[in-house]
A and B are shown apart, each in its own frame.
Chain A
Amino acid sequence: MSNYEIDNRGFYGKFGGAYIPELLYPCVEELRSQYESIMQDEGFQEEFQSLLKDYVGRPTPLYFAKRLSKYYNTNIYLKREDLCHTGAHKVNNTIGQILVAQRLNKKRIIAETGAGQHGVATATVCALMGIECIVYMGEKDIERQAPNVKRMKMLGAEVRPAMSGSKTLKDATNEAIRDWINNPHDTHYIIGSVVGPHPYPDMVAKFQSVISEEIKWQLKEHIGKENPDAVIACVGGGSNAAGAFYHYMDEADVRLIACEAAGLGVESGETAATSVIGSEGIIHGSRTLLMQTDDGQIVEPYSISAGLDYPGIGPLHAHLIDSGRAEAVSITDAEAMKAGFFVSKMEGIIPAIETAHAFAALEHIKYKASDVIVINLSGRGDKDLATYVAWDNNEYQHNH
């Protein structure tokens, strides 16, 4: 039995559960009572696997990054989630959840999005299935991720701005939850990360677990063994990290390295480094680590990366970090941007700014020349071109 699976109330150790108002209870309970049997159903698995293969383009390659490995004097493999249809790992989860929604007879889909990748992935599967789609997105994120807003609209989704709080991912999530409360009968909420009330963290982690399932056999093909010495992933809510870590959580010899966004610096007050400055509490229906005041008010986060600009982390990661199983590394805006430019020139791959945080960890962690390190390349950077350019011209820094 794994130490990192949920218990019967949906807790990973002391983290997780469902801290939700009664108004949300029927929605969450309907999903909770059915998600396991739906996911285990043979017909479901057949459809899920076939869509992952033929629509998403799985398995994604595990690529040996020759020049990067030489530069860092170690062995670096890149799990190419950027090559998934829509350009990020997010679609693994939305394919799974749209199939769940259909089996629950839901006619309307809502989602929240930060970077817009989850919004695009949700709009995509809704178009695929011919289902109505509404995406909540912080006003600030609508500005800084404009290409993804256009993509969502082209795919037929309605994008609704979240105007409260920091106008980013946290606030978009609040609005999506309120929408669900107001539309309990016909609507399924496709959460985009391993956050929210039970059963979401478990369900999303399981849909994303295909990432480490593939790494295992792919690494065996490359080097003759399934386990690397380390797996590195960025953590916003933590879904790509959960997927990359999943089948290694019980393999104690594999280091799990979670990269959080430090923004302008962990102590700067402009950060999203939840595991460093956060404490145990409740956010979006889950007991986990979050950034908050002594009075329990949620603190507004900051990161250059819209997908990491979130004041909490999923309960699985809170548990992995709290128990010492995973190492947390904080990466500043500047470190991430430098890594993003560097990887582009070294490997011909422009990573999402979220993913650039994972690459920057190579400057922080200790490793040996003989080590095998897998970096989860969660997404491509096309959506971030404007920010990369503004950074390169020093315009971004000037405005922050």
Chain B
Amino acid sequence: MNRIQRLFQEKKEGILNIYFTAGHPGLNDTEDIIIELDKAGVDLVEVGMPYSDPLADGETIQKSSSIALKNGMHLDLLFEQIKSARQKTDIPMVMMGYYNQVLQYGPKKFINRCSDAGVDGLILPDLPLFEFEEKYKDIFEAAGLGISFLVTPKTETHRIQKIDEVSKGFIYMVSTNATTGGEASFSNEQLDYFQRMKGLELQNPRLIGFGISSKKGYDAACSHSNGAIIGSAFIRALENGQNLSSTIHQFVNSIKNG
């Protein structure tokens, strides 16, 4: 059992998953951000691998990605940073990025580096389900690496069930049919979707992400699923903050306690 599975076994509600783009704001902030997020009481950390053409991401993450790349972030360095952070924390970590990054690095080598660095799961939004099943499922299982696929309000039930069958760790429920970054106040359509997902009794826990930026959004997400994923709002806080540690603690506190 890896750290993600253990987390969801121990904690069923109110999971807080924070995303940040590695290499932003500073090239070498990765380790400090992970450690401080852990200390601040975050349950799961999602490390974004900056990409030149992040199709599924909104403006904030696009901008942070191009800054990170300009700062010189690359995968070898990122694996070293994560490995170093892993010596100091047991917080579950997933890496999120685009399939082309894994393809060029070499999928086998990439997965080995994940295991070696203590990464627990991957999110690759543009990796097709069938390709994962045919090419990678067995290697992921052997490496004890989880995989989370995305579900949106427009995903049909039979496809959700298929995604649940293939995912291992949690399902990433995209709150809206929109690229990340917008403001969340859930509509009736979204609430119907959350209920529909609940009713399917999936094997994987569900985390709701995209557009959550406040305690209100976090609480709402938690009341309809196992927890929330916050990305853009955290990146904006990092951009505006002076001191990394106090910014992170203040941000997490504002999400959990208002």
Chain A residues proximal to chain B, CB less than 8 Å: 9, 17-26, 164-165, 170, 174, 177-178, 181-182, 184, 279-285, 292-298
Contacts and interface: CB of A to CB of B under 8 A. Distances in A.
Contact of B177 (A17, A20, A23, A284): A23
B178 to A, nearest CB: 5
Contact of A23 (B52, B101, B179): B179
Given A23-B152, A285-B126, A182 B177 contact: yes
B57 to A, nearest CB: 9
Nearest to B180: A23
A282 B150 contact: no
Contacts of B149: 22
Interface in B84-128: 98-105, 125-128
B128 A19 contact: yes
Given A164-B62, A296-B98, A178 B155 contact: no
Contact of A165 (B52, B56, B58, B125): B52
Interface string B142-173: 00000001111011000100000000000000
B51 A297 contact: yes
B10 interface: no
Contacts of B62: 164
B126 A296 contact: no
Contacts of A284: 55
26 contacts: A9-B130, A17-B128, A19-B126, A20-B55, A21-B55, A21-B56, A22-B149, A22-B151, A23-B174, A23-B179, A26-B152, A178-B179, A181-B178, A184-B154, A282-B99, A282-B126, A285-B126, A293-B104, A295-B74, A295-B75, A296-B98, A296-B100, A296-B105, A297-B69, A297-B101, A298-B53
Contacts of B178: 23, 181-182
Contacts of A165: 52-53, 66
B215 to A, nearest CB: 26
A22 B128 contact: no
Given A21-B126, A282-B126, 7 more contacts: A21-B125, A22-B149, A23-B179, A164-B66, A282-B103, A295-B75, A296-B51
B154 A26 contact: yes
B100 A292 contact: yes
A174 B55 contact: yes
A174 B103 contact: no
Contacts of B53: 165, 170, 174, 283, 298
B56 A181 contact: yes
A20 B179 contact: no
Interface residues of B, number: 36
Nearest to A19: B126
Which 3 A-B residue pairs are closest in the complex by CB-CB distance?
A296-B104, A21-B125, A21-B56
B51, B105, B128, B131 interface centre (most CB from chain A within 10 Å): B128
B101 A181 contact: no
Contact of B174 (A17, A18, A22): A22
Nearest to A279: B104
A22 B52 CA distance: 19
B150 A23 contact: yes
A296 to B, nearest CB: 3
A186 B51 CA distance: 29
A22 B125 CA distance: 7
B152 A297 contact: no
A282 B102 CA distance: 11
Given A21-B126, A22-B152, A181-B178, A281 B103 contact: yes
A284 B104 CA distance: 16
Contacts of B152: 22-23, 25-26
Contacts of B125: 21-23
A192 B159 CA distance: 30
A22 B101 CA distance: 18
Contacts of A178: 55, 58, 179
Nearest to B75: A295
B128 to A, nearest CB: 6
Contacts of A285: 55, 126
A370 B56 CA distance: 53
Given A23-B174, A182-B177, A296 B55 contact: no
A21 to B, nearest CB: 4
Indicate the member of B51, B53, B177 with the most A CB atoms within 10 Å: B53
Contacts of A283: 53, 100
Contacts of A177: 55
A297 B56 contact: no
Contact of B52 (A18, A25, A297): A297
A17 B128 CA distance: 9
A305 B56 CA distance: 29
A94 B55 CA distance: 24
B155 A182 contact: no
Contacts of B101: 295-297
A243 B80 CA distance: 48
Nearest to A294: B104
Nearest to A287: B103
B120 to A, nearest CB: 21
Contacts of A282: 98-100, 103, 126
Contacts of B105: 294-296
Contacts of A293: 104
Contacts of B56: 21, 23-24, 181
A182 B62 CA distance: 16
Contacts of A9: 130
A280 B103 CA distance: 9
A9 B66 CA distance: 33
A303 B246 CA distance: 47
A295 B73 CA distance: 10
Contacts of A281: 100, 103-104
Interface string B50-85: 011101101000100010010000110000000000
B197 to A, nearest CB: 13
A296 B99 CA distance: 9
Given A292-B104, A296-B105, A184 B177 contact: yes
